[in-house]
Amino acid sequence: MDIQIQWFPGHMAKARRQVQDALKLVDVAFELLDARIPVSSGNPMIGEILGNKPRLIILNKSDLADPNMTKKWIKKLERPGVKAIAMDTIKGEGLKEVPKAAAALAAEQMAKLAAKGRRPRAIRCMVLGIPNVGKSSFINRLVGRKATKTGDLPGVTKGQQWIRTAGALDLLDTPGILWPKFEDPEVGFKLAITGAIKEQVFDIYDVSIKLLQWLVENNPEKIKERYKLTDLTPELPTLLKDIGARRGLLIAGGEVDTFKAAHLVLKEFRDGILGRYTLDLP
């Protein structure tokens, strides 16, 4: 099943220009990716915009991803001028690695400034990523206080702001950037199920049916265990109804509320209740 999703609010074109303008002010770019979908959650434009700027790739939400796959992704993503770390911004795991990695990436730039007789200053870092990848939570963790407005809805961060951390880092927050076209329908699907796209712009029922298909193919026992089903019918709409019936998601007349059932499956996948998965393979 192909799911076509297009979403490019006008403010995102403006955001790209803001990033390009601010890039000359920073020493290191922090790019946040969703550890479950490191390719699909990466904006192809960011590579073009950053050029040779030192980059720290942060695989966020690593607590929801397959840990072995995350290790493989870190190896694949690292190259000269690019470091990668896994992080869980909710628990703060991986946080201590950030200042160390930033210092290593900015060492050459800091040495140049020292050679010119400039006084030592904080390393200036720009935080980039698509909406809802956890940028605001990441900044709040790094700063140690509620520095930015956070929320579960994509696109909460509308403007740019500099934030001083307790360590030797200055952070420049940027609006989330998505690209104008998802060339691959699978990318749209993965962004939808992980929560990067507003639910108003895709059909929750269609997406949950496709997600169920993926889960049945990859971990059918988890579906049986979670929803107390002895058998999984190959008819996915019926399977969704079975799940809804098990959870008592009924409307008048005893019919299953398929919208609520679809929403349940989507939420439990996003929360990691149905297992830890990496959908993009290295």
62 is in an annotated binding site: yes
208 is in an annotated binding site: no
With residue 219 as reference, give the H or E element that holds it.
Answer: none
Catalogue the E-assigned strands of the chain: 28-34, 55-60, 82-86, 123-128, 161-164, 169-173
The first and second tokens of residue 95, run together, are: 């946080």
Q: Within a 13 Å sphere around the CA of 143, how many CA atoms are in the beta-carbon half? A: 19
136 is in an annotated binding site: yes
**What are the percentages of helix, strand and coil residues in the chain, rounded to 5?**
45, 15, 40
137 is in an annotated binding site: yes
The 3-state DSSP class for residue 9 equals coil
198 is in an annotated binding site: no
Closest CA to 259 of 184, 225, 220, 208: 208
Main-chain dihedrals φ then ψ at residue 263, nearest 5 degrees? -65, -40
60 is in an annotated binding site: yes
61 is in an annotated binding site: yes
210 is in an annotated binding site: no
Residues marked as binding?
60-63, 132-137, 176
Annotated binding site for GTP: 60-63, 132-137, 176
